[in-house]
Structure 1
Amino acid sequence: MNTHKAFIHKVTPRFELEVTVELGEGILHGETLALRWLDLPKPGSKQGRALRKHLKKVRDSVEFVAVQKHEKNAFLRRNTDVFYLPGEKDVFKVAAKGRCLNKELLDLQLGKPYDEDKRKIDFSKKSITVFDEDIDLVTGNFKAEVCMYINDCKQYLRAALERKRVNMEKAEFNPTDEEFLIIYGLKEVKEMSMRLAGGIPLDWKGN
């Protein structure tokens, strides 16, 4: 297991940890880490405020924490186990004998065990809840739903670029199961957004 010393600089609004990780030989690397296998409360809620207070208390109680990084999450953050032990200078002793922050948050009821099933979309339902917001499902299919949003965005962007009223009857993007076409459609949305913002259009070579 890779164990590294990390210095916590900031707790983000989503309760991620902005850190500098010491990789050895004087190599420092800044990144944002997620607490592994935890469902955390909504920011701004009573429980969320208590969690933020505790994370800042932990940050201020030690010079550094020990981190063990795992796979990336949906937001491309490294899922991480975090250990801390006030007064200890050896990172490996911190990892072996220190408090596991992840487990501590569960014990304090400041987080719940990660529930992967909550991330699955049941398209037999008419709506889903994301970050406490209800989102209507229209098509009954994930890719078709994405295509619908691409089409809607392109219709509004086209109207803005041409300074005309939105023509919702004119299809800008047809439903497809082909993932490369969906990516192509998203790139078209990006290009139209860049043009609207006065930027240079894409060269379509990955830029």
Structure 2
Amino acid sequence: MFHKEGHKIIVITFIIVVAGILLAESFISIVWLKTVILIALLAFLILILQFFRNPKRHTVLNNKQVLSPVDGKVVVIEEVFEKEYFKEKRLQVSVFMSPLNVHVTRYPISGNVIFSKYHPGKYLVAWHPKASEENERTTVVVENETYGKVLHRQIAGALAKRIVNYAKLNDKASQGGESGFIKFGSRVDLFLPLDTNIKVALNQKVRGGESIIAENNNG
């Protein structure tokens, strides 16, 4: 199953690959060169299909837990000052996605969307310290009575040239439901209350909509 954001790109890629194969078969007589071109074209198609896959996830709804919004590896767990929305200290947990990861962004908690904003920007590598403030990004805040407010921020990477954000102000967010998509390499930051009980470690691999990032200490 492939994500709707990739349908057009997949069709274009398939046409390019088929055309490339036909041209190689028709005009290249050197066997090894033809083989290299065919392997490269097929590898390119497989990479595109891999990137836009959209596997089903089995989300267990729990208002006392924050789930990972994306697939990837935890690269940041630290206390920071969040400047855009909270304007106070929060716990930041960042998940980095390689081009091979599923790039669907999912709501980490259920609740009401109380903030959603897009920012144009640069395309620094996603793990750059300034990427969270200078890259193309979207910021979404969801609130529920049990956990409070959770901010998740999609950040474009060096390869990503388009962020898709489905979250609109006053939407009803469902934990694990799709909130957006980032095309080609990126990262998502979570900003959580300081008394949050973090359930992941640095370099841990997580799955969007399934892996528990944090838990409410009062629950």
TM-score range, shorter chain: under 0.3
Bigger relative contact order (CA 8 A; separation at least 6): 2
User: Could you state the TM-score of these two structures normalised by the residue count of structure 1?
Assistant: 0.21
Q: Higher strand share goes to which structure?
A: 2
Higher-helix-fraction structure: 1
